[in-house]
Structure 1
C-alpha cells in the first residue's frame, strides 16, 4: 500500500451516493477510503481508529445532522479536515458549517474531478468551495456594514426576498405574525419605501442583503 495515500472517511446516508464516492476516491491514485458511514452515530464508534485525514460529510443525516456533527468529529479526530458535500446552498447552512469548523463546502453537483482535487486541497490547508458557494460567501462579506436595519430586520427582509409570507416568517422565527408586521413596517420606514418589491430593490442597491 502506498503510505502516502490521503486517507478519507465518508459520512453519507444515501447508500448509492456513499458507494459512488467510495469508488471514485478509492480508484484514484494517491487516495484511500478508510471508512464509509451512513450516520454520525455509526461513525462516532470507530472513526477515531480509522485515522482519516479528510472527512467528506453530508449535512442531511439521520440522527445528528452534519453541521452539529462537525465539532463532535473535530474532538474525535482532531487531525482530520472536514469537507462538506451536500445539496444545501443556503447562506445560513454554509456559515454554520464553516463556523463549526468545516474546512470546505461543496455541493453535490460538483464534478468528480473537482471533488478529488478538493480533498487534496483541503488536506494541504486550503478552503475549497463550489463556485456558487464562494459567490454567496463573497456577497455576504460585501454587505454594507453601515446598514440602518437591525439584524432581525435584515433576516426578515432576506426571507421576504426568498418569497416567504408573513405567516411563514413568523413560524420559522418563532415569533408572532404581528411582530413580523411591525418589523416590516420599520423596514419600510428606514428604507423610505412602500412595498416589498421596493424594499428588496433598495436593499440590494445598497448592499443591505
Structure 2
C-alpha cells in the first residue's frame, strides 16, 4: 500500500495511548488518526476516520476489545485489527483470533517489532507474538476432546433447561451428590468452570440441540 499506515489507537489507559501515539507519530511510515478509550468509541471513530489498522486493547470498561473487533470487521471497508494487550492466556487469545483479529501482540513487544507488525497487519498478514503462537500451537496439538457420557449429556440437558442439582437428581432418580459429580466431570471435559459456561460450550460444539437436548 502507498503512503503511511493510518492508525487508530484503542486503550482505556491514557498513558498507554500517549506512549503509542508518540511512538508512531514520530515515524514517517505511520499516521495516527485518533484514539479511543473503549470499544464503543473505537467503532464511532473507525467509521469516521477509516483507519488501515486498529491497535486494539482487550480488557476495557464498556465494550471490550473482542466485541469491538467483531463489529469492526463487519463494517465496510473493514480495517485490520491488531490486538495489543498484556494478556496472553488462552481465554484471551482464542476469542480475539476467532473474532477475526489479524494479529495478537503483547505490550512488551519491542518498538521495531511493533512497527513491523503494524506494517504486516496493514498488508493483511497475520502477526503473533511468540508466547501467543506457542499457546495456539498447544491448542492445536491438544488431544481430541473427551466425549461426554450419555448420563453426562442428560445432566447437561437438564441444566440447560434451568434445572437445579436437586431437580436434576429427582428427574434422573439419582442423588444430588451424583449430579454434582457428573457436573465436575462435564466441566473438566469441556474446559470450563461453571454451569453457564458448560451450557454455552455444549451448544457451540453441537452437544445440545436448540431445546437443550
TM-score of the two chains, using structure 2 as the length reference: 0.68
User: Is the 1:39–1:61 contact (alpha carbons within 8 Å) kept by the matching residues of 2?
Assistant: yes
User: Is the 2:39–2:67 contact (alpha carbons within 8 Å) kept by the matching residues of 1?
Assistant: no
| Correspondence 1:70 to 2:78 | no
Q: How far apart, in 1, do the equivalents of 2:185 and 2:125 lie? A: 44
User: Which runs of structure 2 are paired with 1:50-69 in the superposition (5 Å)?
Assistant: 50-69=49-68
User: What residue in structure 2 maps to residue 40 of structure 1?
Assistant: 39
User: Is the 2:40–2:68 contact (alpha carbons within 8 Å) kept by the matching residues of 1?
Assistant: no
User: What residue in structure 2 maps to residue 181 of structure 1?
Assistant: 181
SS of equivalent to 1:84: strand
Q: How far apart, in 1, do the equivalents of 2:132 and 2:185 lie? A: 32
User: Is the 1:52–1:77 contact (alpha carbons within 8 Å) kept by the matching residues of 2?
Assistant: no
How far is the alpha carbon of 1:44 from its aligned partner? 2.5
Which deviations, in whole Å up to 9, do the C-alpha atoms of 1:112-152 show, x marking residues without a partner? Answer: 2111110001112211111100000111111123x5x2379
User: Is the 1:51–1:77 contact (alpha carbons within 8 Å) kept by the matching residues of 2?
Assistant: no
For structure 1, the 5+ residue unaligned runs are: 153-174, 189-209
Aligned-residue CA RMSD in angstroms? 2.6
Q: How far apart, in 2, do the equivalents of 1:185 and 1:134 lie? A: 29
User: What residue in structure 1 maps to residue 147 of structure 2?
Assistant: 150
Runs of 4+ in structure 1 over 4 Å off = 175-180, 183-188
How far is the alpha carbon of 1:42 from its aligned partner? 1.9
TM-score of the two chains, using structure 1 as the length reference: 0.69
Q: How far apart, in 2, do the equivalents of 1:42 and 1:77 lie? A: 17
User: Which runs of structure 2 are paired with 1:26-37 in the superposition (5 Å)?
Assistant: 26-37=25-36
Q: How far apart, in 1, do the equivalents of 2:185 and 2:54 lie? A: 46
